[in-house]
Amino acid sequence: MPKFLRIGIHQSNVSGYTSKAWCVRRVGTAILLKWGAVEVQGAGDGRKVYWTRLPQQKTVRCGSAQRAQDYAKAAIARRRNHRYEPLTGAIVLRRRPAAGNTELKRALATILIVDIVGSTAKAAKLGDVRWTKIMGHYYAAVRKELKSSRGKEVTTTGDGVLATFKTPAAGINCATAIQKAVRTLGLEIRVGLHAGEYTVSGTEAVGLAFHIGTRVAAKASAGEVLVSSAVKELMASQSAINLKDHGIHRLKGVPEKWRLYRVEG
């Protein structure tokens, strides 16, 4: 079996986003797996895909060629179910600047996480072709609102988007605008926002603040926009946005308990 490459969301006509790629290759009775974050530059036939860091690798010993073949088929089927698309060509590791020239910068921002509710069931009901078209419209709508609100896209995660804003009000207004836009596609989303610091190294952004924002979004129901207490504190002077107490919650993997607030209106 030739090397099989897959990348997240179908974005053949978009440049400059991040996603995740997999390589699945059968060699005799073994399966070689490689996966990690990638950066996509260019579009269409001229698209180039780069590993943003050294990919993770794993070798699965199956014991027989038939088992290896079955394992590879199942691995590929799982990627298809998660809306990955085939890639042609190689994924290249982008060269990084020398360690001495790499500066670590701290940034403070409002972090927004958008996630489609019930996406797996919708994809199964609509089929790959229709769902791929809807996802194309979905990401186009999200990016349009991000641009209007001066938000910065950080990464995409399956059917989710993570972005940053300079102010909480901009992030909240963008979240409500995205809700209205994607409803015309028959989609419901959940949104979480958190404000905090993160580290920027080259083109990468990492930090606990991103994880907290993701956990806040996970607490939201369909159609809800939830914000952390950190966002609420920064919104003290923003009377135009109504936040209702949503109680105290434990966020998986995050220390302490957090009070969350629901955006009203």
Residue 148 tokens, joined: 């209007």
Q: Which residues contact 210 (CB under 8 A, 6 or more apart)?
A: 111, 154, 162, 198
Digit-by-digit pLDDT tens for the chain (265 residues) are: 344 455 544 444 445 556 677 788 888 888 888 877 777 776 666 677 887 777 778 888 888 888 888 888 888 777 766 656 777 777 777 655 555 545 567 778 899 999 999 888 888 888 888 888 898 899 999 999 999 999 998 887 667 888 999 999 999 999 999 999 999 999 999 999 999 887 766 556 677 888 888 899 999 999 999 999 999 988 876 668 889 999 999 988 877 888 999 998 7
pLDDT given at position 1 = 35
Please give the single-letter amino acid code of residue 265.
G
- What is the rounded distance in angstroms from the CA atom of residue 13 to the CA atom of residue 48? 12
Residue 244 tokens, joined: 């209702």
- What is the rounded distance in angstroms from the CA atom of residue 140 to the CA atom of residue 178? 11
pLDDT given at position 164 = 92
Question: Which residue is listed with tokens 């610091």?
Answer: 197
Identify the DSSP state of 54.
P
- The DSSP element (H or E) to which 191 belongs, if any, is strand 189-201
Q: Which residues contact 212 (CB under 8 A, 6 or more apart)?
A: 111, 194, 196, 228, 251, 254, 258
Give the global pTM.
Answer: 0.61
- What is the rounded distance in angstroms from the CA atom of residue 128 to the CA atom of residue 32? 26
Asked if 111 contacts 195 with a C-beta cutoff of 8 angstroms, the reply is yes
